[in-house]
Each structure stands twice: as C-alpha cells, then as structure tokens.
Amino acid sequence: MEDLRKQIDQSRLPKHIAIIMDGNGRWAKKVGKPRVYGHTQGVKTVRAITESAADIGIKHLTLYAFSKENWSRPKFEVNALMSLLVDTLRKEINTLKENNIRLTSIGDLDTLPKRTKNALLEGIENTKNNDLMNLNLAINYSGRWDIVEAIKNMFDDIHNGTLRKEDITESLFDKKLSTVGIPDPDLLIRTSGENRLSNYLLWQLAYSEMYFTKTHWPEFSSKDLMEAIIDYQVRERRFGKTSEQIIK
C-alpha cells in the first residue's frame, strides 16, 4: 500500500472522481448471501473509499448511490436501500465531521421518501462548513433528468424575460445543472465489470477518463482506488488537441 501511495503524483491528482458503485447484489450472490447483504457491505466500502480519497487529497468524490431507474427493482430491495441510506447517514455524520468532509447531494430529492430526504438534508446541514473534501451523493439521479431540468430552468428564464436564446452557452448550461459549483469529473470509476455509463452525469463526463474494473463494489479497496488514480495519471488528456500541442 505504501509503495502504491508513493507512486501517486500529488501535483496531478484528479480534482473530482465519480464512481458507479456496481456489483453489490452480484457479490452477495457469489458469497451465498441475499442482495441486501451486499448493499450493507457496500456501505463499509463507501466509508473506506471516502476516507482514503480525502487522505490522498481528492477534493470532490461523487458516488452514484441510487438512480431513478433503481425504483424499478423489487419493492423489498428498494425499501431496504432507503432504510439503509437513512441509517448510514445518521451513523456517519460524526465521522464526516471528524474528517472535515462536507456532504452534498444531487438528484430529485423532492420525490424521495420523507425520512430519506430529511436524513440527507440533516447531514448536509451538519457538515456544510467542512472543507477538506466534498462527498457528493447522487440519489434519485439520472443524467437525462439533470439535463431536462436544466432546460426547464432556462425555459423559465426565457419566459420571464431574464434570458435570451442567444445568451445560452455551454458555460450557462453548466450553471443550470445540479452539479453547479463542482468541477466536471476528471476520472470515472465503475466497478463490477460493466462498461457503460448507466445514465450517470452524461453532460459532465464528456471529457472524463474512464476506468473499469471487474472488482465488485464490496471488495473495492483503497488499493484499488490508488491503482485507478495511478492509471489515470499516466494518461494523456488532450481535450481535442494533439499530443504536440499538449507538450508545448
């Protein structure tokens, strides 16, 4: 672990890492346990990876905790996930405060169950002054929903006379998204062997580096996180330019 840590270039850290935490259910099945057990173990990984990311020096960590599509899962599993989220938020607030980590969230929070929304807002309020790292939970979120909501907001501005069509730019659109104030992810990590975005941060991931691993989320460790960061740091990010332009 220490050897890996030494390989990380502190001057080239990704400012923002986004993670699709996939494979809880499949991991549980592999070890002969119910799917809910996988989600419970996945929470332990969230804690470990959050603390590791903060310790390494990552400033923003966004975790895909629950998508809008996840409502279509069996009702028992959805209810268990909502209860687990509430319990985890209330148990981990002190840990976040001790580690100077701020909690924020993106997604359609207004349609969450009342207990879930209240626990989330309580955690956000209690950590709002922390500034070591921002832990951003994507809950009841989808990339398409985010884009549609941004368009609705701009339409309202045009209707109210505070915005002209000619004034719409990519920069303005960024400010209408739920991630306003957070830089686009430099690195996306997806666990469990799936190689797709699953409707996650579709606008924001336009130029992100992507790292896919077959490791299921409950088994994903600080070592795996460091390996992903090291892999990211050897890549050349050109943003449409040539290698020669980057070198200059």
Task: List the catalytic residues.
Answer: 22, 70
141 to each of 33, 94, 208, how far by Cα in Å?
Answer: 28, 26, 19
Alpha carbon distance 157, 164 (integer Å): 8
Alpha carbon distance 124, 118 (integer Å): 10
| Burial bucket for residue 78 (CB in 10 Å: 0-12, 13-18, 19+) | middle
Alpha carbon distance 174, 147 (integer Å): 10
- Alpha helix ranges (H) inside the chain: 2-7, 24-30, 35-56, 75-98, 114-126, 143-160, 170-176, 222-233, 243-247
Beta-ladder partners of 133: 101
Instruction: Give me 56's structure tokens.
Output: 């390494």
Alpha carbon distance 103, 229 (integer Å): 22
Instruction: Give me 147's structure tokens.
Output: 């884009």
